[in-house]
């Protein structure tokens, strides 16, 4: 999962893009990057690390221009080398930079065809660089010295025809403008907004989540439709068109479970309200299965589950307490690369308040259970703090299948629920009883608020992959790439990603 942003304005955008990335930091903590454009020249800074660590004053002053795109990244099956941090650049045609959130399921085949048919070379294993080169090739075959909006849309149509999987994209074409587009299923989110500057001119912003628009004073207009492209030309005129032959909104439901901030609106759905409803339906299930539940207190595992846990406690009519204090200066354990690092970080991240646990039957609520390591550690922490009994509730159904659309769900063999019954999972994590949200209830929690989604991508729960191109061979390769023991651990310390394309060769 990654976060993207793009701004077309009439004043410098470097600080605004930085601020947007800090708001989107929860979507990726591995690397960050910003590219701006001025007078046809691109200026790029990217490197591994948090936003606050990647960008210093000396970097910000070099990011000149009134238009730019930005990206925060966390690795999926690729490496954590800063050579694979985004945005990516290609010089032909025109000069293009691109940032991407998602995952191409046919990236391997595309990479081969790019070399053999399009005569293009990629420098990394990133599917985002593959996507950039496909877009660049499709734009180049338009054969225009000065492309117009129809040429841009034709190139995006070519991308849709060739690329499979999930992609939300922001890109810049040197001296021509900014383009944003979304895959034909709308799996990954992207929203656009507008604001007026002091002179009354309209400025545009694209971002993964609406909170980034809110933070910068842009009014949310709407999400890009599935298969839609938007192009802001260098005169500041916005053009839009659905470029996919087939388009049907089927967004990833896990955005509402875990990734998105609660103050975001995605595809017309309030993430906060969806999580409130998750707590209500989960409480109803508990009352149905265990009317004599013995729960003395409900506690969230901070932070994502807090909204659901509060509503669950209200519905059950029991006390809600904050039993764990979170260390704010450590990353989200779910998206940390490597099982050992995740396991070590749990006790660094959370510390129990003993008096809230001692002698009580505690219901712990989390947003989901993926590998099971985190909740196993937390349950033991609750027992060590004096809890009499420890129950566990997941606001999401059991995660039984890998994600192939841009979320770092591990290989199937590393998912605690894969091939296990709920009773077996209960025994592994060490709780007194375990309850999962039902998938039908989860869908009902997000399929409201005027949402137009025909269905949701629920593949991690039901194994149904909506793009229809995921087979056993794909999973075999995924197992090799994603298993923690097999992931590459490249840390390219010598390359800090600071470069300015065209007219600035300084590195620091």
Is 2 part of the annotated catalytic residue set? Answer: yes
Q: What is the mean pLDDT of each run of 10 residues along the chain (508 residues)?
A: 96 98 95 97 96 96 98 70 86 97 94 92 92 97 95 98 97 98 97 97 98 98 97 97 95 95 94 97 97 96 94 97 86 52 69 95 96 92 96 97 86 90 95 97 86 85 92 80 52 41 42
Over residues 158-170, the pLDDT tens digits come to 999 999 999 999 9
Instruction: Report DSSP state, residue 259.
Output: I
Over residues 224-264, the pLDDT tens digits come to 999 999 999 999 999 999 999 999 999 999 999 999 999 99
Q: Which of 2, 243, 252, 445 is catalytic?
A: 2
Spatial separation of the C-alpha atoms in residues 315 and 299, rounded to whole Å: 14
Spatial separation of the C-alpha atoms in residues 314 and 403, rounded to whole Å: 33
Spatial separation of the C-alpha atoms in residues 256 and 322, rounded to whole Å: 22
CB atoms within 10 A of CB 409: 23
Tell me the pTM.
0.90
Instruction: Report DSSP state, residue 410.
Output: -
Q: State CA 266 to chain mean position distance.
A: 12
Q: Residue 476: its pLDDT value, please?
A: 81
- Contact between 113 and 18 (Cβ < 8 Å): no
Helical axes 127-140 vs 149-162, angle rounded to 10°: 130
At which residue do the structure tokens 């609520």 appear? 365
426: exposed, middle or buried (C-beta count within 10 Å: 0-12, 13-18, 19+)? Answer: middle
Cα→Cα distances 477→52, 183, 277, 366, 413, Å: 35, 23, 37, 30, 13
Spatial separation of the C-alpha atoms in residues 255 and 308, rounded to whole Å: 15
Token pair for 369: 């259970």
Spatial separation of the C-alpha atoms in residues 32 and 83, rounded to whole Å: 11
- Contact between 209 and 190 (Cβ < 8 Å): no
Helical axes 339-349 vs 373-384, angle rounded to 10°: 30
Q: Taken in order 355, 356, 357, 359, is the CA torsion positive or negative?
A: positive
Q: Residue 499: its pLDDT value, please?
A: 45
Please tell me whether the peptide bond between 49 and the residue prior to it is cis, using omega within 30 degrees of 0.
no
């Amino acid at each position: 999962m990654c976060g993207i942003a793009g701004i077309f304005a009439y004043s410098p955008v470097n600080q605004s893009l930085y601020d947007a990335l800090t708001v989107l930091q929860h979507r990726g903590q591995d690397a960050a990057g910003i590219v701006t454009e001025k007078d046809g020249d691109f200026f790029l800074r990217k490197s591994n690390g948090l936003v606050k660590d990647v960008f210093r004053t000396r970097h910000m002053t070099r990011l000149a221009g009134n238009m730019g795109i930005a990206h925060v990244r966390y690795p999926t099956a690729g490496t954590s080398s800063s050579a694979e941090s985004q945005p990516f650049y290609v010089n032909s045609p025109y000069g293009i930079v691109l940032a991407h959130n998602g995952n191409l399921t046919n990236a391997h085949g595309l990479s081969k065809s790019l070399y053999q048919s399009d005569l293009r070379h990629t420098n990394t294993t990133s599917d985002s660089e593959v996507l950039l080169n496909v877009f660049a090739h499709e734009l180049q075959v338009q054969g225009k010295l000065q492309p117009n909006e129809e040429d841009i849309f034709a190139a995006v149509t070519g991308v849709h025809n060739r690329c499979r999987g999930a992609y939300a994209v922001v890109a810049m074409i040197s001296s021509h403008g900014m383009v944003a587009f979304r895959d034909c299923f709308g799996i990954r989110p992207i929203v656009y907004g507008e604001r007026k500057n002091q002179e009354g001119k309209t400025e545009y912003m694209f971002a993964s989540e609406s909170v980034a628009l809110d933070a910068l004073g842009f009014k949310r207009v709407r999400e890009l439709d599935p298969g839609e492209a938007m192009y802001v030309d260098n005169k500041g005129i916005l053009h839009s068109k659905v470029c996919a032959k087939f388009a049907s909104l089927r967004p990833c439901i896990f955005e509402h479970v875990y990734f998105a901030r609660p103050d975001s609106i995605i595809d017309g759905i309030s993430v906060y309200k969806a999580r409130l409803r998750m707590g209500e339906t989960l409480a109803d299930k508990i009352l149905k299965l265990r009317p004599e539940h013995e729960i003395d207190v409900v506690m969230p595992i901070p932070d994502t589950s807090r909204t659901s846990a509060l509503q669950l406690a209200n519905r059950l009519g029991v006390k809600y307490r904050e039993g764990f204090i979170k260390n704010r200066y450590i990353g989200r354990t779910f998206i940390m690369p490597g099982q050992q690092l995740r396991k070590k970080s749990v006790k660094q991240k959370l510390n129990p308040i003993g008096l809230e646990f001692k002698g009580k039957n505690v219901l712990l609520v989390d947003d989901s259970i993926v590998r099971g390591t985190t909740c196993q550690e937390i349950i033991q922490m609750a027992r060590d703090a004096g809890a009499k009994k420890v129950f566990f509730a997941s606001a999401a159904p059991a995660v039984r299948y890998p994600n192939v659309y841009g979320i770092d769900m591990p290989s199937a063999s590393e998912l605690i629920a894969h091939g296990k019954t709920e009773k077996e999972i209960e025994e592994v994590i060490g709780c007194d009883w375990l309850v999962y949200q039902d998938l039908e209830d989860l869908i009902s929690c997000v399929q409201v608020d005027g949402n137009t989604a025909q269905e949701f991508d629920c593949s991690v729960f039901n194994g149904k992959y909506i793009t229809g191109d995921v087979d056993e061979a794909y999973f075999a390769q995924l197992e090799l790439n994603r298993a923690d023991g097999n992931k590459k651990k490249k840390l390219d310390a010598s390359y800090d990603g600071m470069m300015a394309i065209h007219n600035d060769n300084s590195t620091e």
